[in-house]
Amino acid sequence: MTILVVGRSGQLGQSLLTALPRQYPDAVFWDRQALDLVQLETIAERLAGLKPQIIINASAYTAVDMAEQETELAYAINRDAVNALAGYCARNDAALIHVSTDYVFDGAADAPYLETAATNPMGVYGASKLAGEQAIAASGCRHLIIRTAWVFSPFGQNFLKTMLRLGGERDELNVVADQIGCPTFAGDLADAIVATLTTINAGTCPWGLYHYAGDAAVSWHEFAHEIFAQARSTGLPTPNTLNAIPSSNYPTPAPRPAWSVLDGGKFEAAFGQSGSNWRAGVSACLQALNQPTE
């Protein structure tokens, strides 16, 4: 069975690079040089050459604010390229595992979002990701769409690494406290995706749309507080003052959902994977980032 991971260089792709070969050592990982998703006309040919039976799409345009300006590029990667991947899978009886986002919702809810909740993205990023979901469903291919939220890891750029950097530079930080979500450790998300492969191989996969995110909801301010508490215990520099501020004090080009809590019960029932233990994930990140480089 040939498994292809698209998006090798991202947070999830690098986490899968650790998790997937433990059970599937022949898995293939492609970065942007191997498959440029912007070059839509090349996707089908490249896939036909490899003939993957399962594609894990860990790639995306994720620059939330820049998407407001780079609308065409966001849709090219998050919708059109996804449509091309799904089209290959539909024509060749392959399966697609695709990662989506909490940004398909407007954040107006007051209870964890189920997969059946109405979508209403507030910005280009969320709208382009929703369009990708819709393209997959319309293709008719066998698929798993897994929405997640607030992903962090030792890789790339993310909230945890930004906090650690700023914490080493500043004595006082302001962090938004009125946006609530479920931080998700990319290593846990990778393990959750690997767990779905068992059912795919067995021919018992319950295809469809799922949510997988952190096991406890917090604000960005509370998330930062936990990061610094753990960082402090390892001897890393942290700010003396961490102020809680409203979103209105930190305007961004793209609006953020005030409520990004995803209900992962359906995923756990189907695949036996509970939500990401994100506090343990913070510890794992700190350990990885503190490893001496050769």
Give the model confidence (pLDDT) of 144-185 as tens digits. Answer: 999 999 999 999 999 999 999 999 999 999 999 999 999 999
How many whole angstroms separate alpha carbon 166 and alpha carbon 46? Answer: 41
| Amino acid at the residue 215 | D
Is-above-0.85 flag for pTM? yes
pLDDT at residue 290, rounded to an integer: 87
Given CA atoms 150, 154, 160, 163 in this order, what sign does their dihedral have? negative
Q: For the chain, list the domains and their CATH numbers.
A: 3-153+183-215+261-276 (3.40.50.720)
How many whole angstroms separate alpha carbon 70 and alpha carbon 74? Answer: 6
pLDDT at residue 275, rounded to an integer: 97
Is the model's pLDDT at 291 over the cut of 80?
no
The secondary structure of residue 53, as a DSSP letter, is S
How many whole angstroms separate alpha carbon 55 and alpha carbon 75? Answer: 20
How many whole angstroms separate alpha carbon 132 and alpha carbon 118? Answer: 16
Which positions are annotated as active-site residues? 125
CA dihedral 84, 85, 89, 91 (to 10 degrees): 20
What number is the average pLDDT over the span 129-153?
Answer: 98
| Amino acid at the residue 40 | L
Q: Give residue-wise pLDDT tens across range 8-42.
A: 999 999 999 999 999 999 999 999 999 999 999 99
Mean pLDDT score of the chain: 96
Is the model's pLDDT at 232 over the cut of 70?
yes
pLDDT at residue 1, rounded to an integer: 83
Q: Give residue-wise pLDDT tens across range 76-125.
A: 999 999 999 999 999 999 999 999 999 999 999 999 999 999 999 999 99
pLDDT at residue 223, rounded to an integer: 98
Give the up-direction half-sphere exposure of residue 19: CA atoms within 13 A in the CB hemisphere.
21
What number is the average pLDDT over the span 214-221?
Answer: 97
Is the model's pLDDT at 293 over the cut of 70?
no
DSSP labels, 79-102 = IIHHHHHHHHHHHHT-EEEEEEEG
Q: Give residue-wise pLDDT tens across range 259-282.
A: 999 999 999 999 999 999 999 999
pLDDT at residue 294, rounded to an integer: 47
